[in-house]
Structure 1
């Protein structure tokens, strides 16, 4: 088992390494432009329009889904609970 002094020295080494990596990351990110994956909302809206997707239809569809799920929750609470659990499980499994 490691002693307290060994653990403290290891912690100090890790803190120094972390500080060095943070300064290196700041230097690298400060000199470069933002990555292409970071797009503004205007660029995303334009890309959606280029592919024939109307953003207002997507937003109205989202409102319809929320209203439908609210109605389902009132009429069939157990079913809504199972749907929410299943969706959370699927998203969780997909991410890791």
Structure 2
């Protein structure tokens, strides 16, 4: 199963590399695009759930790393959710 990293820039300028066990992230995000934080969070939840489900279908158990990545994204998003103009930029993909 192809893994990938997707690189982000949070509204405060901090960068982060995020993990996905599947290339499905490419169906939800585009490099160079900036997403409102709430939208980014919802897309992340959906994409990482699909990625984890694909791991479960193949290996019989969900992907713990995808769940952990989502937890980190949720925690990092929280301070920005009350700021409607805050955006998360997807900088690049690494496969």
TM-score range, shorter chain: under 0.3
Between Structure 1 and Structure 2, which shows a larger proportion of helix residues? 1
TM-score (norm 1): 0.27
Structure of larger gyration radius: 1
TM-score (norm 2): 0.27
Q: Which structure ranks higher in relative contact order (CA pairs < 8 Å, sequence separation ≥ 6)?
A: 2
